[in-house]
Structure 1
Amino acid sequence: MTFSHSIKSFDELTNHELYNMLRLRSDVFVVEQNCPYLDLDNKDQKSFHLLYYVDNDLAGVTRLLPSGLSYNEISIGRVVIARTHRGLGLGVKLMEATIAGCEEKFGKAPIRISAQYHLSKFYQSLGFKEQGEAYDEDGIPHIEMLRA
């Protein structure tokens, strides 16, 4: 298996990359999780996007948001791994590449996320700490987490 990734601004994405990224997000967040929500929130245009490939297949994506767009801090969102590529340990690889990408694009600074609550321990293993209480977001329990 070969692993690779690229980080691109919205304007740098090809039509095919954009389509595949949005398709993957919709497949997981809307269809698989049975959660109708507005994925297209006008933040993609101001963000960077990490596209993670396994053997040239799009296996995962994340969104890297500058400070001030979602939170006062830099943030990471829309973290997703394709169902076909789960169980390969890609979550850690994807997030490590994303954290490094945030530092490359925005500088070394705290990173805030809104994590699905059941993934809290996973994010803690990457240095994130829970902030506040769990809350409902689109019918799914979430919690804010910060990596100082």
Structure 2
Amino acid sequence: MNNINFHWSRLETLSSLELHAITLARQTVFIAEQHICCPDADEHDTHSWHLTALHDGKVAAYLRVVDPGEKYPEPAIGRVLTTQAYRRTGLGKRIMQVAIDTIADIYPGQSIRISAQSYLQSFYENLGFTIIGDEYLEEGIPHIQMLRPSAR
């Protein structure tokens, strides 16, 4: 899958159609598929970079990077998703690596924090994250906090 385009934006620079596509992908994965019943959009969206992986103009994967000091002291990756048609293609790892590399450029010397669904622990460990703290429930789903030390 070579024709994936990665697009970084702040919320205020997204077009209404881009925002709609991201919102639809997030609602499909988090609300329809994972049955999370809390609102997906939150105050952190306005203090985040939004990374979209597009294939033929459609959202194939997405994540956001919350600014340091907004949610945690470090920049935080969250709302990571791969849409159903693109799962098991390696795109999840690719979008995470793009995010990690870009965070190192935007926020040099900073670690990266994530609140990961527990079943994805080994996926994130393979990207350099380690567990900090105990497992906890978030919207009924087991989660763990993980931290990745600065690469630079």
Asked if TM exceeds 0.5, the reply is: yes
Cα distance in structure 2, aligned partners of 1:80 and 1:14 = 20
Cα distance in structure 1, aligned partners of 2:29 and 2:53 = 15
Gaps of 5+ in 1: none
1:92 aligns with 2:97: no
Which amino acid in the other structure matches residue 101 of structure 1?
Answer: T
Cα distance in structure 2, aligned partners of 1:105 and 1:11 = 18
Residues 48-77 of structure 1 deviation map (CA, whole Å, 9 limit, x = unaligned): 100101233210110011111111111101
Cα distance in structure 2, aligned partners of 1:120 and 1:57 = 28
Cα distance in structure 1, aligned partners of 2:11 and 2:28 = 20
SS state of the match for residue 97, structure 1? helix
Over aligned residue pairs, what C-alpha RMSD do you find? 1.1
State the partner residue of 2:38: 37
State, as a whole percentage, how many aligned pairs show the same letter.
36
* Equivalent residues in 2 for 1:1-148, closer than 5 Å: 1=1, 2-148=3-149
Number of equivalences: 148
Which amino acid in the other structure matches residue 59 of structure 1?
Answer: A
Q: Is the 8 A contact 2:21 2:58 kept in 1?
A: no
Q: Is the 8 A contact 2:132 2:144 kept in 1?
A: yes
TM-score normalised by the chain length of structure 2: 0.93
Gaps of 5+ in 2: none
Q: Is the 8 A contact 1:66 1:106 kept in 2?
A: no
